[in-house]
Chains A and B, each alone.
Chain A
Amino acid sequence: MKYLVAFGCSHTNGSMLDGKNGSSEYNVRNGFPAIIANEYNYNLINISKPGGSNQYIHRSIVEFLTHYYDPDNEYLFLINWSSRNRLELRYKEDTSDKHTTLGDYTDKKAVPFTAGTDPKLFSDPKIINLLNFTPYLLDDTLEADKWACWAYGVQQMLQYKNIPYLMSNTCEPMVVTDTNKEIIKQLDTSRYIGPTDQNSVMINYLFQRGYEKTPCWHYKIDGHQAWAKKLRNHLRELRYVE
């Protein structure tokens, strides 16, 4: 069996593709990962969450590899990194709190926590109050360093397992700091589209080309088709697809 496994945040989840929902089955099955999967006859596994952090993306890649990966199958990983101002929290197992979004292998206890999130999205008052402490928890430089390490770690891990992959940024470029510059230099830019380049970021790439966006910076089907085309060109260069 052939699987295209997509990891990411709302952009990978197809948020607002249907014109009304942050997350819906239609969105999950019709965004850019689905466009590429359908074109090359892959089964789609969409492991993404609106608000998903890079920490969540790294963990969900490891979770897929340790829980679901079967070396007898053929895989193509599309890894779509998110923005720095996010982290992952969890609702307690023994409560009824849930953060419901759609996608494959979703964990309804996993809470995407972003600076500036609408508090109504959280059901635990403690997590709502924790929004006041985001400057302590989400330092731009530190988060840039973490992101570079996760990306490098994933690159090495997938190389070791011989799994074809392509990485891209959907929300912002990776920021170079004094501590992550050597790590960024060792990112494989044939498999990571412009890690530090503003113009290679999905939302900027589509905005510059005039695709219509929603007020929350999500794109419609024509935007997803254009991004799929860009990814497809890179996949062809890598000879992952014809």
Chain B
Amino acid sequence: MKLVSFGDELIAGDKAPKILADMLGFEFVDRAKKETSNQTIFRDVIDYITNNNDDCFILIGWTLGNQREITWNDQTFIYNENKTDYKDNHVNRLHKYDDILFDKLLVAQHRASEAYTLQNVLENKKIKYYMYNTQDCIFFHEKTLKYLKALNGRTYHNPLNKESSMKFFVEKQNNNNHHQVWADFLHSKIEVPQ
């Protein structure tokens, strides 16, 4: 059995998902990236399950909502609302439109739609999975309420609560080994495949 981890810079490498895989005795496949977006993660998961037929447990750490893929000079990269030192000034000029590109409600609608789609895809394919947020949450609004209610609370840890995201959860614990803390937490939450 493999544990395949998707997510951002907070979990890429020998971090909580790797510790969890070791705890479970699973082979670890690291698909997390230092630069990513939720849209990228959605596609990475679909790319993995359509290219691999192995027994696996999918672990998805959704990242910050204020990141999106853009393309310039044939290069696709992650455009981050908080990064202002892009080498190409054209890219920096895009910040003027961040309130539109990262409209909270629209970002939440797309994020919840893609999480809901993956939930259904993985359940249809009978692939065990668990989702969590690494450092923020899905924006709550009356127009996102029903999307959010449809997310499975047993397989997506508190999508609405920023304090429940990995970063904020581990910082509140009296233990500096944050990756072990989060691995222990995930271990307590997931339904381990037999």
Contact = CB atoms under 8 A, between A and B. Distances in A.
Interface of A: 55, 58-59, 62-63, 65-67, 88-90, 92-93, 107, 124, 126-127, 129-130, 133, 135-137, 139, 142, 145-146, 149-150, 152-154, 156-157, 159-161, 179, 182-183, 185-186
Interface string B68-88: 011110001001000000000
B118 A153 contact: yes
A90 B97 contact: no
A136 B72 contact: yes
Given A66-B147, A89-B106, A137-B70, A156 B125 contact: yes
A55 B71 contact: no
A111 to B, nearest CB: 9
Contacts of A142: 69, 71, 76
Nearest to B115: A62
Interface of B: 39, 42-43, 46-47, 50-51, 69-72, 76, 79, 90-91, 94, 96-97, 99-101, 103, 105-106, 109-110, 112-114, 116-118, 120-121, 123-125, 143, 146-147, 149-150
B22 to A, nearest CB: 30
Nearest to A159: B124
A58 B94 contact: no
A66 B106 contact: no
Contact of B46 (A63, A88, A161, A183): A183
B120 A160 contact: yes
Contacts of A136: 70-72, 79, 90-91, 94
Contacts of B112: 62
Contacts of B50: 152, 182-183, 185-186
12 contacts: A63-B113, A67-B146, A89-B103, A107-B143, A137-B70, A150-B117, A152-B46, A153-B42, A153-B114, A153-B118, A156-B124, A161-B120
A157 B101 CA distance: 27
Contacts of B42: 149, 153
Nearest to A124: B100
A146 B125 contact: no
